[in-house]
Structures are given as C-alpha cells and as structure tokens.
Amino acid sequence: MAKISFYLTNPKTKNETNLFCFLNYGLYRIDNGAKKYLPLKYYTDIEIVPDLWNKELNRAKESNKWANPDTFDVSIAAVKESAKMNYDKINNRIADFETKTKEIINKLSENGDVPSHDKLRIELDRVFKPAKVTTNNDPNETPKDLFPFIDHLIKTSPNKFSTLKSFKVVRKNLQDYQKAKKTVLNFNSIDIDFYNSFIDYLKKPTKSKTKTGKPLTKAGLSMNTIGTRIKILKTFLSEANDRGINVLQDYKKKSFKVLKEETNSIYLTESELMQMYHIETSPGSLEILRKEFNADKLPEYLEKVRDLFLIGCYTGLRFSDLSKLNKDNITNDNTINVKTIKTNQSVVVPIHPITRQIFEKYDYQLPREISNQKFNEYLKDVAKIAGIKEPITTESTKGGFKVAETTEKYNLVTSHTARRSFATNAFLMDMPSISIMKITGHKTESAFMRYIKMSAKDNAIKMQSHPFFNKLVIAK
C-alpha cells in the first residue's frame, strides 16, 4: 500500500504556501545488497498557511482562524461553523488527493510492475494539473538535463534572492568548467572523478580581460568558497533525484564532501568599541577627521553606520534586523523583543546603556538600512578613524596553497563582526554560554565555541582570575 506524507513548501512564511508530498509506493533500487526505497516528490496545488498546518496529523488544524471574517459580527456558533467548513474543505482536498493518487498507483501496477517516477508523475499531472499536460510534449515538465534543470530550479524555487544568486554563480562555474575541459556535463557524468576535477579547477587562477581589453588574472577560490559551491551542487543533485531524474549517487558518498576550514574572523574588544563610540573625543581620530574630511566630527553617513554597528555589538542581532528596530521592540522590562528575519525566531535581549543612548539619539527611529556592501565599506573607514590598527595575520587556503596575509585590523571589520564581538565579549565577561546562545541562535555549544574569537592573550587574561592561578602557597 502506498504511503503519502505531506509537507509545507515554505514553512517559515506567514502567507499561504503549497503542500508537496513524498509518495512511497514500492519503487526501490539495490544499494550494497540492501533495498533502498525511492519515494517520488510531488508538488500539489493545495495551499495553506503554515500556522494552520498540523504536521503530526498531516492535515489542517482545527482552528477558528479558518472562519470567514464576515461571520465575526454574527455569533460564536457562526464563527465555529464557518471555520469548520473551511478546514474541512482543505482536509477533504487532501483526502481526495490521497484516494485518487492510490487509485492511479494501483492502476499503473495492475500487471505487477512498479511504475517509474516519470510515468507516475505524468498520470498525476493528468488528474491534478490537466492544464499542464498537452497531447504531445509537456513544455512545463521538469527538464531532465542538467543546465535546463538548474534554470527551472532558479525560476520556480521559493528561496530568497541571495540564495538564487548563488545558484546562478554555481551554474556559471559549471558552464566555465565544461568549456575549459571541452566536455559535456549531465546528471550521469557528475561522479567522484568529476568532483575531484571540479575542485581542482576552482582552486586554479583564472584568466580573463577587463572591459578595456587588459589581461586580468583572478586568484583561485578559497577552500570555504569552494565548499559553498559544492554544497549548492549537492542541492541541485538531491533535488533532481527527489524529482525522479536519473542521477548518479556519488554525491551522497562521504568523499563527495563539502570542504571547510576554520576562518580567522575577528572581533572588536570592549576597549576598541569604546574607541569607536568616543571617536570624536580622541586626539588621533580628530587628526584623521580634520585631514581627510576637514571636520571635527564624523560625516553623517559614517555616524549612522557606526551607530548601527554598535547596536549590533551590544544586541548580537544580524545586520538585516538592525534598522528594523523601533520603539515597539522595546518592552517595559528594559528588553528588546524582535522576530529575526533570517530564522523567524523571537529573540529577547537586555538593553545595554549604549544601545539605549543610540535609540534616544534617533528618537527610536534608527537610520535606514543601506546595502551590506556599502555598509562594510563605510564601516572600515569608521574603524580606521577610530584607530583600530592592530596588525592581524590571517591564514586561508587559496589555489590549493596556504596563504598568510597581514593587514591592519580595520580592513577586516564587517557587519558580521558585530555579532562575533557581542558573543565573544559576553563570553569573556563570564556570561553563561547558554544565555548567549539564546540570542545568537546557536543550537549546540560546540558550534557556539567555534563562533567565539578569543585570542590566546584574551584566554590567558581570563584564566588569571581562575582559582587554579590564585592558590596560596604555604611555605614549609
């Protein structure tokens, strides 16, 4: 008997989203002598708001939120009746989908054969998406070739813009590789040998020309960047496999791994944050301001960037959440309560005095958000003026070689430095890890500790207060 399980296409949205399902109807392959069942992933036209979905029961929740607003002024009974009618309507559609799908599977399996994904999908479309099916070829059918499939995924994916942009980057990497190697890539050529060759290709410098025709050589990608490319490629292959496309299974092997190395990300110490906060009263900073800006204070655009960055350093919030804050986010118990954009989680943060002062400075309407690229560019200027110039040596793998680079610290400051500074400074001040993690959103302490950027000197200073280093020695 076929088993059908439903899931939300976009579980984090507040609006309606389609249901998709996995149909496990007995199709399998043999992997290392063992059966591995191959469910079909199928997208339905049934829409529902995630808050009204009961994933345990695979049905719509019984809730008065289903009620037609026109019934609100009638009676409680009318509201309940309207709600029941609406969630029953959705649940009946789901039940009807299950019944008809099982009938299709049974019909296709009458001669004892288990239908392929393609055959089953076509029959499902005939019943549930007749407008999509034509008498000859279906122009809307999911493409079976690699690049058309990636294009289809980019066009139809519910992912946000930044993710789709990275999809396009990997598509171009694959096309460039195909051209450089004089080969043709498809789902049956992406095996472990391709994986090793593709990584080697991404490590090597590339040559191109500028708009004026001058030769340009770009360094090979770093290990973490290559890892991101591989992660997205595995997403393409997994999605194609879920849709019944014949994909080599090498991408599931441990050797087809996402490369990763620990980054040398920085944080700003509490004293460096104070340098930034009191930037206009520092003789060294004033000298730079007068020399480069002919002024005794930060230009307004740099001041706004500095202030938003400092709020990030004392709240731990992401760049995308900062300028969304206003007076409504501040509660009577002196905390900031905000639902984060990236994770859609509610976060509660105590208000630091500096955060309060900046809020009051802007009458609780923080400066408008600018692009992350511009923000980082201006932030480096702010850090330079503040005198954050400690030499920092970073190591990374580029082009297959370990590369050590030394630069002044202000060159490494980015919007994300704020969250790392918050977490690291809080940890150095003995705030419990679990309390910090409630704000940063880390799920495990091991992941959180990798996020902390404490130097060997910071660690030694912190340990000085430990009883081990403060024991009284009794002379004999």
Q: What is the DSSP secondary structure assignment for residue 330, as one 8-state letter? A: B
Strands (E), 278-365: 335-339, 346-350
Question: Is the pLDDT at 135 greater than 60, yes or no?
Answer: no
The confidence score (pLDDT) of residue 34 equals 78
Identify which has the larger pLDDT, 209 or 165: 165
Averaged pLDDT, 453-460? 70
Q: How confident is the model at residue 310 (pLDDT cuts 50, 70, 90)?
A: very high
Contact 46, 19 (CB under 8 A): yes
pLDDT in tens, 325-339: 888 888 888 899 988
Q: How confident is the model at residue 136 (pLDDT cuts 50, 70, 90)?
A: very low
CA distances to 7, 54, 102, 159, 258 from 50, in Å: 10, 9, 26, 16, 31
Distance CA(469)–CA(39), nearest Å, equals 60
Domains of the chain, each with CATH number or no CATH? 3-132 (no CATH), 146-252 (no CATH), 270-468 (1.10.443.10)
Averaged pLDDT, 312-332? 87
Strands 59-60 and 3-8: unpaired
Bridge partners of residue 217, in order along the sequence: 207
Q: How confident is the model at residue 475 (pLDDT cuts 50, 70, 90)?
A: low
Catalogue the long-range contacts made by 440-445 (C-beta closer than 8 Å, 24 or more residues apart): 440/316, 441/340, 441/343, 441/345, 441/347
Contact 390, 409 (CB under 8 A): yes
| Amino acid sitting at position 212 | T
Q: How confident is the model at residue 143 (pLDDT cuts 50, 70, 90)?
A: confident
Contact 67, 75 (CB under 8 A): no
Q: How confident is the model at residue 468 (pLDDT cuts 50, 70, 90)?
A: confident
pTM flag (> 0.85): no
pLDDT in tens, 27-54: 887 767 778 888 999 999 898 888 888 9
pLDDT mean across residues, the chain: 84
The confidence score (pLDDT) of residue 99 equals 93
How many Å from the N-terminal Cα to the C-terminal Cα in the chain?
83
- Name the token pair of 164: 């789709």
Share of the chain above pLDDT 70, in %: 86
Distance of CA 419 to the CA centre of its chain: 16
- Average the pLDDT over each of 75-79, 218-222, 426-430 and give the range with the smallest value: 75-79
Question: Is the pLDDT at 70 greater than 80, yes or no?
Answer: no
Identify which has the larger pLDDT, 133 or 393: 393
Averaged pLDDT, 417-427? 92
The confidence score (pLDDT) of residue 131 equals 66
Question: Is the pLDDT at 169 greater than 90, yes or no?
Answer: yes
The confidence score (pLDDT) of residue 132 equals 60
Nearest to 43 by CA among 2, 92, 9, 80: 9
pLDDT in tens, 358-414: 999 999 888 887 888 889 999 999 999 999 999 987 776 665 667 777 889 999 899
Strands (E), 171-263: 206-209, 215-218
Helix 417-428 / helix 270-277 crossing angle, nearest 10 deg: 130
